Amino acid sequence: MKDKPTAPVVTAAAEWGDVELLFGMRGEPSRCWCRYFALTGPEYLALDPAGRKEQLKGKFDGGTPSPGVLAYRDGEPVGWCAVEPRTCYPRVLRSQVLRLAETDPEQVPPEAKAGPAGVWSVTCFVVAAGHRRSGVAPALLQAAVEHARIHGAAVVEGYPVDPALRPKAGAADLYHGTLKLFLNAGFKVASTAVPGRAVVRLDLGTTG
């Protein structure tokens, strides 16, 4: 077994050239380009990987905050986390996970307090092979929260997998992040209406 990387992790708002380098030419990131939640089902299927790549690239040219953050080791991009206002993610807004959470009578929808633009979503993690389980994902989540805070978020939301309830969850599910990852970062569970898929939230008005 190879030793885990020991160089420190540095994070920053994502820049397109480094996102393109990280996602590369192979694997699911190079096919999806983190557009699954940012497009409706028909819109996603209508684009090939090159079209999805161009759609993500356009997010860096529109005068809006970067759509995510990157992690670096020794100057090389080794991780990505997508974070934007929840209104940028139509598939999140229509998802069963969120719809069931919003109909829970015990829950007050965060937009009732923060307004729609004040709720930001963490939707996707990409960590390069050889750098997993070495502190990249926690660093990315911390950076994503700070990125959202700087740009006016009042609440940050995530939709992680609970491997204890979904022990067979693979990479196709774990790109959401794990429940433990979010809980360790101070997020609170808002809903477990879908077994194994939580909705978690961090109220930035109550964090230091």
Order of strands across the sheet that contains 197-203: 10-13, 68-73, 76-85, 119-127, 155-158, 197-203, 188-194
CATH number at residue 86: 3.40.630.30
Q: Decide if 120 is inside a domain.
A: yes
Contact 155, 110 (CB under 8 A): yes
**Residue 37 domain flag:** yes
| Residue 133 falls inside a structural domain | yes
pLDDT for the residue numbered 26 = 85
Residue 4 lies in a domain: no
Residue 1 included in any domain: no
- The reported pLDDT for the residue numbered 1 is 42
In a domain, 3, yes or no: no
Total domains present in the chain: 1
CA nearest neighbour of 180 among 125, 138, 146:
138
60 within domain boundaries: yes
Burial 65-81, CB ≥16 within 10 A → b, else e: bbbbbbbbbeeebbbbb
The reply to whether 5 falls in a domain is: no
Q: Cα separation of 37 and 121, whole Å?
A: 10
Distances (CA, A) of 205 to 88, 101, 106, 118: 22, 21, 20, 11
Q: Which residues of the chain have pLDDT under 50?
A: 1, 208
From the list 21, 53, 28, 26, the residue with the least C-alpha distance to 39 is: 53
pLDDT at 8: 92
Q: Structural domain of residue 88, as residue ranges?
A: 10-206
pTM of the predicted model as reported, rounded to 2 decimal places: 0.90
